[in-house]
Structure 1
């Protein structure tokens, strides 16, 4: 087999360390396909076992459980869906494995916002160390409970993302109130600005980023921006698991999944001696 058959794009090798890449290249150029195939097999098995834990938190009524279902591509009535309701239905962290990727788990955490809420105690209660990142939801304004939680998460060297949920309900109400002057973009920007100003005042953040979503239609609003932010912040190995776990809500996500699968195909082809 000619050495130049090895894919030149280093993106394909980003799951390998520099030393592994050099070793693979040397072994490949020496014609030892069996050793290369063995190394690839070991790496594929390792990747399939990588765990990704996503925590979803927010006050009661913010739509946490519906978001947990939506991000897994499930409706509230589907088998395996998180329980939803107008009252708090989550008293302990509830784990929900991805329907087709058992190594990806979405966690529905208990609601925040009780009178005696303490962010540090809450994080200990939910075993914060197990999660790769936190999604902090609100269906209205971000309060001191949200900002205290974000500050504690930051102290613990974990990433978090502010998400304003149920924007579809806000748009519907605005259209009913003022049908003649209704402007969707202006209303969305007003919601975004309001959230940002609250976070600046409450958390002292200079440029907080807020993602506007509707769990009933993830293809609209800012879900694609949230998805991109998460991808950018995850390490290479966990990024692969995250991309494959995303619901098929847009052509962009489908293309990313397609690219991820293509990267696996050439590896499997090499393992089988087809390359």
Structure 2
């Protein structure tokens, strides 16, 4: 099979995935689907007793510190007295809802159920920092009645480990196993559901990855994409998960960028819409955590110098995205960073193609290369932050 015929097959396969044989219609449809990736909403309700760590979990899930702007208030007293929504800082279609604490002395189950509005949420995360109690089980049963999914999360695991770390014969895995089994005993009447052990201040440890994997497996395709795009990169495993999801949608961005195909004039060159490519790469940049705010929070949480973490970003394309967002990190690159548009031109070599098939394949190749560059940079960032295990 020749290179040209292989390219044509790849292009025709993309058209088939959209259910279109007309390239002109397919381009418009691809743009619509690409836009819908950022418009589908994911609503996650976070419930549990007062002081269980709901707000800290919501902040960590959104990649924020507790004292950042727009973070959920945390404290040892009741801070949530009514349902409160928090949007993700870079994915506004992902919303986390902090529900009032269920452990207060004046807690009234009937009033709580009226206020919750179960139909609003895609899933529920029930949080405890100790044993799961009667109100947690009550809420889970009500969620089941509404045919919604719930997940038990045991927080503050880092505190538990620290409290016994200096004891004789300390074995972290045994401690985790004991905590997990203790939690399960208290919810066994629900059919022995899984319990995820998490530290909101170190998502790279314990069961956060397992929680994300489980949520992902039980959501629809576009909601899965919203979930994986929104969670912070806290480990190499999470980075690889994000890479796989982004690669799955490269073909859609490649097809959407072929604007020239919508003008059915014979022999008219197909022009690549660089705005589509730029938008896709900027979205990847934020989802990977290469943006300024994410790097600052990573620096603070790992106690590593920000300059050390920023210096790990070295690929010209990743730096060009940073430059486009008007961020000027210190870098080892001697010459000025080219604009993202110039780099795309340089990679394309020409600004138009003979046909849509050629444009589509070239664009997908460019996007795969650009994504790999940013993934490699993020690997170096994780290494600089000491999170490369």
TM-score between the two structures when normalised by the length of structure 1: 0.87
Higher gyration radius (CA): 2
Distance 2:139 2:172 in 1: 31
Distance 1:72 1:7 in 2: 39
Residue of structure 2 equivalent to 1:23? 19
Relative distance call for 1:134 and 1:22 in structure 2 (3 A) is closer
Distance 1:144 1:242 in 2: 30
Matched, 1:193 2:187: no
Distance 1:76 1:272 in 2: 39
Q: Using the TM superposition, give the Cα deviation of residue 42 of structure 1 relative to its aligned residue in structure 2, in angstroms.
A: 1.8
CA RMSD of aligned residues (A): 2.0
Q: Deviations over 1:200-237 (max 9, x none)?
A: 1xxx1332210001101011011111111100111111
Relative distance call for 1:40 and 1:111 in structure 2 (3 A) is same
* Mapping of residues 102-251 of structure 1, within 5 Å: 102-176=92-166, 178=167, 180-200=168-188, 204-251=189-236
Q: 2:96 aligns to what SS in structure 1?
A: strand
Relative distance call for 1:7 and 1:157 in structure 2 (3 A) is farther
- Kept in 2, the 8 Å contact 1:120–1:152? The answer is no
Matched, 1:39 2:29: yes
Q: 1:170 aligns to what SS in structure 2?
A: helix
Q: Deviations over 1:120-161 (max 9, x none)?
A: 531321222111111000000011110000000100111100
Number of matched pairs: 255
Residue of structure 2 equivalent to 1:6? 11
Q: 1:163 aligns to what SS in structure 2?
A: strand
Residue of structure 1 equivalent to 2:349? none
Q: Using the TM superposition, give the Cα deviation of residue 261 of structure 1 relative to its aligned residue in structure 2, in angstroms.
A: 2.4
Distance 1:209 1:22 in 2: 37
Among candidates 55, 77, 96, match of residue 65 of structure 1 = 55
Distance 2:81 2:185 in 1: 31
Q: Using the TM superposition, give the Cα deviation of residue 4 of structure 1 relative to its aligned residue in structure 2, in angstroms.
A: 0.6
Matched, 1:53 2:43: yes
Matched, 1:253 2:238: yes
Matched, 1:263 2:248: yes
- Kept in 1, the 8 Å contact 2:18–2:30? The answer is no
Q: Using the TM superposition, give the Cα deviation of residue 7 of structure 1 relative to its aligned residue in structure 2, in angstroms.
A: 7.7
Any stretches of 5+ residues in structure 1 without a counterpart?
Answer: 14-19
- Kept in 1, the 8 Å contact 2:197–2:206? The answer is yes
- Kept in 2, the 8 Å contact 1:117–1:145? The answer is no
Please list every run of at least 4 consecutive aligned residues from structure 1 whose deviation after the TM superposition is greater than 3 angstroms.
115-121
Q: 1:49 aligns to what SS in structure 2?
A: coil
